[in-house]
Chains A and B, each alone.
Chain A
Amino acid sequence: MTPLPSPSADERMEARRQRISSAPPSHVRTTRARAPVLIIEDDADDAKLLMVRLGQVRTVAFDVVHVSTLAEASAWLSTHSCELIVLDLNLPDTKGLEGLDELRGRRPVVPVIVVSGCMDDGVRASATSKGAEEAIAKHDVNGRLFASCVVYVIERNRAREEERRVARILEANPDALVVVDSTGVVKYVNDQATVFFGKSREKLTDECLLFSASEGVPTEITATRSDGKRIGEMRVVELEWQGEQSFLASIRDVTEQRSLEGQLLLSDRLASLGTLAASVAHEINNPLAAILVNVELAIHDVKGDTLDALLDARMATLRIREIVRDLRLFSRSEQNTLERIELHGLLDSVIRIASNEVRHRARLVTEYGPANIVLANETRLSQVFLNLLVNAAQAIPAGNADNNLIRVITEKAADGRIVVHVEDSGVGIPHDVQKRMFEPFFTTKSAATGTGLGLAISRRIVETMGGEISFQSEPGRGTRFTVRLAAASPAMITRRSNRAPKNIPSARRRGRVLVVDDDPLIRNSIKWILDRDHDITCVGSAATALELISSGDDFDVILSDLLMPTMTGMDFHREVEAAHPEEAHKFVFMTAGAFTEEARQFLLTTSNDHVEKPLDLETLRRTIDRHVTAEDDAASSSPTTEAFQRHDASADDPNPRSASERREHQPGMTFARVAKAVR
């Protein structure tokens, strides 16, 4: 038995409080706690009689609180609740039904039974019209009527409360609920259903509506609202509603979930593409290095037509190298860190990747402004521009490339941000499609061509970098997408160049070079290139190289592959650093583009030089010469490794681009010449 919370503030009231205990007979099931009842009655005898009568009720047990005035009742109700109020209409501080008004105002859902010494039909009618559940004459209290009346009022109110509770649950249910009968009449609609369908309750119940799905199995539906599409997972079950066979459709809004799933799927796809790109780059670069080196050597030995053919072959090989290098944009592990990116180089790479989509549809022109360094994530920004370029190409029908144009324009905005426009002369975007452009899953392309996620993801990417993406389009004339990006100070560029500075004098003597690479083709090529000027020792593993160094062999340069089986170049370097620290600065690393995250970090932090495969003949020669010369300088003055520091791309870029330079990209040309030469 739970005692009522005591109104400790009012001792007088507490003194009057009486608990009437009447345990129900064992065969009566009480599912609820005892019912608290407030009796407001100034006549002590009448109050006692009421309490005795309540005590005789067998089906409900009451906790009775008795007060004598309306003021006391109000005070008690401000801190307590009860299931029933019994109100005498003749109280010292109120007359007639005013008391009822006050109680109803204070506790609208608690039922009130009024009792009066002078009850007639008029009083009874006005009492019930003011919300009293029952009106009983005092002389009737002393009979069965009162007891059954009390039980009825309490049971009815409990049922009503139960219904309110269920209704609140249905209304608050985050899933949309609609009940229709078998002829399509809408019987019930909850709040969320009006939200999901974007229709008012009235509009929904006016519809002749049915739902058809396999019972209990979720099926996907899409609601088109004025503010966009919502995807719902609908389940339909049969239920009885007001005695009729009906159907309940429960619809869960899964729009955000689907959008996330779609983005995950896409980034999964990009991740696998990245892995593939990395391994392809690695596999291609080694044989490519051999081709390049041999072609370059042959170029020095031949003349005439054969020389032209070889020059074309070299150009084609360099182009393969560029393509493989571009693929690396996608092989970086997924990171959201912002770096300083050389925008024009990135755009050039993306343009090369997209050229296959573009070349049959339009000429591609770049107009680059002077500002070039942006704060962005290289992989993700490439994804955005690739997407915009492919979209631009697809907006132009194939076959009329000469008369169509895609322009990629960069400029510096007045607010200091860097703006990239991707402009096409395609079909344009119809006005009513324009406002849905960035909506996830909205696509005008067929299922095979588009997921409808490209622009949604692009916008998300640009916005996470603190940028903006927008577009202007005129149907029939073309579309211009504009990406605004934060500019970065040009002090440091993350994209590093490994080109050696010019005018490094040849080494004054033959250097001793240790070449460590697991690929015999590479070892042979390097030997070919460097044999003329230096003494070359080639080994196939880091372990053998370590043995040589430990046995006291002295080298000027240790040219080591970065990624080798069993012991990587990084581990090799660490071993040497530990055992022979004076040799560690002699390392020059070779990379084939397959950057593991570890390798990437290593190259970013190490002070040693590195060269990229396929090896460029001149670069390799210069790098080795520079190191041999530096060794001599170090021997004659204080030792320093300064000369080995990498150089900033802006300082030694062999092709500095003038402001607003305009270039045409004609990627097909090189191959055409090559093919002709071969024939």
Chain B
Amino acid sequence: MARVELQLYVAGEGLPSRVAIANWAKICDDDLEDECDVEVIDVDKHPPSLVSESFLATPMLVRRLPLPVHRVIGDLSDGDAVLAGLGLARRAEGGP
């Protein structure tokens, strides 16, 4: 499997950020056999100029690699949508 590079953008340490991080952890535990590291980026701690992301809505999981870039916006509570969006594991047939 091609190298997968993931980033999870959150804004601050409020509830939406914590829920998204927890939901991602649950998806990792339940659905992903391979270890899937994610880089969590708090956009409030990084000045906007340092954030390379051009499209910013948080919480947002970004699959940076393999290309094309995929983005999943929301609290990640719908695991199927996340997996489909990442083209990972249990992805829908005929997906990218």
Contacts and interface: CB of A to CB of B under 8 A. Distances in A.
A215 B78 contact: yes
B79 to A, nearest CB: 8
B71 A183 contact: no
Contacts of B13: 446-447
A287 interface: no
Contact of A219 (B56, B60, B75, B92): B75
A236 interface: yes
Nearest to B82: A212
A214 B19 CA distance: 12
B69 interface: yes
A247 interface: yes
A207 interface: yes
A184 interface: yes
A127 to B, nearest CB: 45
Contact of A183 (B47, B69, B96): B96
B57 interface: yes
B49 A432 contact: yes
Nearest to B75: A219
A217 B44 CA distance: 26
Given A183-B96, A229-B11, A209 B48 contact: no
A282 to B, nearest CB: 38
Given A207-B55, A212-B78, A224-B58, A432 B47 contact: yes
Contacts of A441: 12
B58 A221 contact: yes
Interface string A440-462: 01111011000010000000000
Contacts of A210: 70-73, 81-82, 84-85
Given A221-B16, A221-B58, A249 B73 contact: yes
Given A224-B48, A224-B57, A208 B68 contact: yes
Nearest to B72: A210
A548 B56 CA distance: 77
Interface in A201-238: 203, 207-215, 217, 219-224, 229, 232, 234, 236
Nearest to A214: B77
Given A182-B92, A197-B57, A210-B82, A219 B74 contact: yes
Nearest to A234: B74
A433 interface: yes
A212 B76 contact: yes
A197 B84 contact: no
B78 A197 contact: no
A184 B57 contact: no
Contact of B95 (A183, A234, A433): A183
A220 B57 CA distance: 10
Nearest to B61: A212
Nearest to B59: A221
A96 interface: no
A465 B54 CA distance: 39
A7 interface: no
A444 B74 contact: no
B38 interface: no
A430 interface: yes
A370 to B, nearest CB: 41
Contacts of A106: none
A199 interface: yes
B71 A197 contact: no
A572 to B, nearest CB: 53
Interface in B11-52: 11-16, 19, 43-45, 47-50
Contacts of A229: 11
Given A223-B57, A229-B11, A430-B47, A213 B75 contact: yes
Contact of A222 (B55, B58, B79): B58
Nearest to B48: A432
A432 B46 CA distance: 10
A444 B48 CA distance: 13
B72 A224 contact: no
Nearest to A209: B71
Interface string A411-446: 000000000000000000010110000000111101
Interface in A235-253: 236, 247, 249
B11 A234 contact: no
B15 to A, nearest CB: 7
A207 B71 contact: yes
Contact of B70 (A208, A220, A223): A208
B47 A212 contact: no
A506 B95 CA distance: 99
Nearest to A431: B47
A213 B84 contact: no
B27 to A, nearest CB: 9
A199 B55 contact: yes
3 A-B pairs with least C-beta separation: A210-B85, A432-B47, A224-B56
15 contacts: A183-B84, A183-B92, A183-B96, A203-B55, A209-B85, A210-B72, A210-B73, A211-B72, A211-B74, A212-B61, A214-B75, A219-B77, A221-B58, A221-B60, A224-B11
Given A197-B55, A212-B61, A217-B77, 13 more contacts: A183-B94, A197-B57, A209-B70, A211-B81, A212-B76, A212-B79, A219-B74, A220-B15, A222-B57, A224-B57, A234-B73, A236-B78, A447-B13
